[in-house]
Amino acid sequence: MKSRRGKTKWEDLLSIILLMLIGLMHSTQYLPQAARGLLRTASLPLMGVILVVSWYQSEKYNHLPPEERRDLDRQWEDERGVMVQRQAVHFCWQVEIWLLFGLYILFTFGMGRQDLATVVFELMILRSVFFYAVRWWFNRKY
Amino acid sequence: MTNRIAELRKARKISQAELADGVDVTRQTIISLESGRYNASLLLAHKIARYFGLTIEEVFLFEEEET
């Protein structure tokens, strides 16, 4: 069975690319000057931290005893591990909804940016529709 | 639901890591099962029972008030 670690390396790389894209996005005119400057300053050290953490995790994994490595690989497939992941996904889903809602309030009442608020609102609707569609699909499948 | 995993494992002088290897789960899952924080699925219960050479009912004890 292919190791989960091998997959997470690609996922780590993907998250770095994603962060770089977000960094580029922040350099556009969509955000106020102050926020843009702050995000531009913060994104580079953040990317550095993620790179160092990814490298450290990879090195730590490579130097683990075989039993511990096997145990670590297995955690992504064993049923308790899967249950923990599902709980984490559910928690993240809830947090995301509240974050988006917070952003909507901020853009509407705090910054007076109805255009951005509309994008956030559309994103919230899209996520909900997508969630129900996926749930319907899985219900149908099983 | 309670279980006799810790009792059976100690009687057979098997470590948690060995049992975990035998039934293809993590040691943390065995720890959670033994402490009663997690209830095994039917598949895992079957694997554990087979590992000890017993039936599911001999390893996992279902209490009536849980119904």
pLDDT tens for each residue of B14-50? 999 999 999 999 999 999 999 999 999 999 999 999 9
Q: Residue B2 pairs with which residues in a beta bridge?
A: B61
Do A17 and A73 reside in the same domain of the chain?
Answer: yes
Please give the residue range of the domain that contains residue A90. Answer: 79-142
For residue A105, what pLDDT is reported?
92
pLDDT at B6 over 90: yes
- Give the CATH number, domain containing residue B8: 1.10.260.40
Angle subtended by helix axes A33-62 and A4-26, to nearest 10: 170
ipTM above 0.85, yes or no: no
For residue A26, what pLDDT is reported?
59
Asked if B28 and A80 come within 8 Å (Cβ–Cβ), the reply is yes
CB of B61 closer than 8 Å to CB of B5: no
Closest CA to A31 of A42, A43, A40, A21: A40
Do A2 and A71 reside in the same domain of the chain?
Answer: yes
Do A73 and A12 reside in the same domain of the chain?
Answer: yes
Band (pLDDT 50/70/90 cuts) for residue B67 is low
For residue A58, what pLDDT is reported?
80
Q: Domain end: A77, A105, A122, which one?
A: A77
Asked if B28 and A75 come within 8 Å (Cβ–Cβ), the reply is yes
Q: Give Cα A106 to chain centroid, integer Å.
A: 21
For residue B47, what pLDDT is reported?
96
Which of chain B's residues have a Cβ under 8 Å away from the Cβ of A77? Answer: 24
How confident is the model over A44-72, as pLDDT tens digits?
Answer: 777 777 778 778 878 888 888 887 888 78
CB of A75 closer than 8 Å to CB of A81: yes
Query: What is the DSSP-derived secondary structure letter of residue B54?
Result: S
Please give the residue range of the domain that contains residue B58. Answer: 2-66
In 3-state terms, what secondary structure has residue A79?
helix
Do A5 and A58 reside in the same domain of the chain?
Answer: yes
Q: Domain end: A77, A97, A128, which one?
A: A77
The dihedral through the CA atoms of B26, B30, B35, B37 has a sign that is: positive
| Ranges of chain A with pLDDT below 70 | 1-18, 20-32, 35-36, 39-40, 141-142
Asked if B25 and A70 come within 8 Å (Cβ–Cβ), the reply is no
Do A42 and A12 reside in the same domain of the chain?
Answer: yes
Number of domains in chain A: 2
For residue A3, what pLDDT is reported?
44
For residue A9, what pLDDT is reported?
59
Looking at chain A, which residue has its C-alpha nearest residue B42? A79
Query: What is the DSSP-derived secondary structure letter of residue B1?
Result: -
Q: How far is B65 from chain A (nearest CA, A)?
A: 24
For residue B58, what pLDDT is reported?
94
Q: Domain end: A54, A77, A100, which one?
A: A77
CB of B56 closer than 8 Å to CB of B49: yes
Q: How far apart are CA A76 and CA A3, in angstroms?
A: 9
